[in-house]
Amino acid sequence: MRRFWIFTLMLVVVVTFAATKLVFWTAPNPLQEEFWKEVISEWNRLRPDIQIEVSVIPAAASSEEAILTAIAAGTAPDISENIFSGFAAQLAEIGAIYPLDNFKEDFWKLVETRKMRNIVEGWKVKGHYYVLPIYSNPMLFWWRGDLLKQLGYDRPPRTYSEIYELSSKFTKPNERYVMQVIAGRNWWDRWFDFITYYYAASGGKAYIDAEKRKAVFNNEYGLKVTEFIYKMFKENHTAVELGTNPFYFGTILGKITGPWEINWAKETFPEVMPHVWLAPPPVPDDYPADLPVYTFADTKGLVIYENCKDKKAAFEFISWVFSNVEHDVLWIEKTRMPPAREDLVTNPAFAKFMEDRFFKAYAEAVPYAVPPALIDKTIDVQLSMTTHLIEPLMHLKGEPKDILNNAVKEVNKILF
């Protein structure tokens, strides 16, 4: 009996110390954290030889800063999620992440199984695939259906002119405005205002030519969007500041947001949510009514870091998670965000979610949701867009055309 216990103890010690331990960082979002904890505990039970330790990306102004700080300090994890394409390009540029296509047929098998052959093409950096896209969040407009009905509308506004007209019936400067036009002052807010409006106006055309490293948004579409934003501020249809939660308190009728807000809003403002109407971003008046409206895709993925202790083991874990469609079902249940897969509307595994009108609207917009330009200077470019495009428009510093041309010039200085 004594021998048995000694043997068991030795076995435990050997398994404990021999097992590969990998650190995985999840996005600082409680719903995503819940998903990963559940999946990882299942994996850890199945694979005692590759143990995954899960923790949230440390608190910082943004995930990118936390990850960079960790890389600098030599405390980067083995795997992390919440990586947007531009940041992946930056990390690839400095050699901090590992190309997943180095796993050759195993990688391509995973891509085929998860039905994301076309999606991964949008993530190609210098001929390699560093990121496994997890989800793709199209940005949609939420409108206060209850208030619109009171004003005599049975559908949300579609074009810029319809917004001006609606505004004339609702806006009362300093009290309430028709919609939020500018998402905020952070660099990432440009995804949710100018870039979204640009994609909508242009039918999903690129705002930066990544190959030639050149900003191209000083065209007819860029000008229409710029004039729209300028007019919204000049004619007091919107304001620079709208206070906290203006949409839910009825200060504004419409705003843009992603599916991450659904569960939070259902809990926090249960009386407002049943009356919310979803619609694509507004388009210029001459945009054909029968064409689909494109929008921005807030899409994030997962990477393996160059300093990962066992890259093969890390990829084995990733393959296990994303090869099983049930994990994507669980992902939707937990987060309500559409997984980055091409069979979302056709795969019967996801059919039950289509009964949820919010999820359905977002899932249907996935084919028309375009990711950001794949450049390594995303943050700098969008900071420059904030300073040279959005802020002058908000504060009416110049004519829209001059502001647009100057912004493109400034962005090109960064890209050159």
Partner 1 sequence: MASLKSREKRFGFGILAAYLTHTAIFWGYPFVWMVMLAFSRWRFVGKPSFVGLANFLRIFQDSNFIRVALNTLNFLAYLIPMLLLSSLLFAIALSKMRYFKTFVVMSFLVANVSSGVAYSIMFANLFAVNGPVNRFVYSLFGFTIPWFNHPQLAIFSICLIVTWKFIGYYGMIIYAGLQAIPTSVFEAARMDGASNWKIFWTITLPLLNPSLITVTVFATTLTFGIFTEPYMITGGGPMMRTTTFLIYMYDTAFRRINPSYATVVAIVAAAMSFSLVMIIRRIFEREVAFV
Site stretch for partner 1 (CB under 8 A), options 8-16, 41-49, 65-73, 148-156: 65-73
Judge whether 259 and 333 are in contact, CB under 8 Å: no
Cβ-based neighbour number of residue 254 at 10 Å: 25
DSSP codes joined into one string, 58-112: PSSSSHHHHHHHHHHHT---SEEEEEEHHHHHHHHHTT-B--GGGGTHHHHHHHH
Judge whether 103 and 273 are in contact, CB under 8 Å: no
The CA distances from residue 59 to 29, 69, 258, in Å, are: 11, 11, 22
Q: How far apart are CA 80 and CA 24, in angstroms?
A: 5
Interface with partner 1, residue 391, by CB under 8 A = yes
Residues 24-63 that bind partner 1 (CB under 8 A): 61
CB of 201 to partner 1, least distance (A): 25
Site stretch for partner 1 (CB under 8 A), options 78-86, 285-293, 311-319, 381-389: 381-389
Choosing from 331, 392, 411, 415, the residue that interacts with partner 1 (CB under 8 A) is: 392
Interface with partner 1, residue 373, by CB under 8 A = no
Interface with partner 1, residue 126, by CB under 8 A = no
For the chain, the straight-line distance linking the first and the last C-alpha, in angstroms and rounded, comes to: 74
Interface with partner 1, residue 236, by CB under 8 A = no
Pick the closer one to partner 1 by CB: 312 or 397. Answer: 397
Interface with partner 1, residue 370, by CB under 8 A = no
Interface with partner 1, residue 241, by CB under 8 A = yes
Closest CA to 136 of 338, 395, 357, 296: 338
Pick the closer one to partner 1 by CB: 187 or 317. Answer: 187
CB of 65 to partner 1, least distance (A): 5
Pick the closer one to partner 1 by CB: 65 or 285. Answer: 65
Interface with partner 1, residue 385, by CB under 8 A = no
φ/ψ of residue 285, rounded to 5: -60, -30
CB of 393 to partner 1, least distance (A): 11
Choosing from 72, 290, 348, 355, the residue that interacts with partner 1 (CB under 8 A) is: 72
Site stretch for partner 1 (CB under 8 A), options 148-156, 260-268, 362-370, 386-394: 386-394
Q: How far apart are CA 275 and CA 398, in angstroms?
A: 39
Chain centroid to Cα 162, Å, comes to 28
Interface with partner 1, residue 386, by CB under 8 A = yes
Choosing from 244, 271, 289, 355, the residue that interacts with partner 1 (CB under 8 A) is: 244
Pick the closer one to partner 1 by CB: 254 or 392. Answer: 392
Interface with partner 1, residue 416, by CB under 8 A = no
Choosing from 5, 152, 212, 243, the residue that interacts with partner 1 (CB under 8 A) is: 243
The CA distances from residue 100 to 97, 161, 168, 250, 302, in Å, are: 9, 47, 53, 47, 10
Q: How far apart are CA 154 and CA 328, in angstroms?
A: 35
Cβ-based neighbour number of residue 74 at 10 Å: 7
Q: Count the residues in the chain.
A: 416
Q: How far apart are CA 75 and CA 185, in angstroms?
A: 30
Interface with partner 1, residue 211, by CB under 8 A = no
Residues near partner 1 (CB under 8 A): 61, 64-65, 68-69, 71-72, 90, 93-96, 174, 185-187, 239-244, 246, 251, 306, 377, 379-380, 383, 386-387, 391-392, 394-395, 397
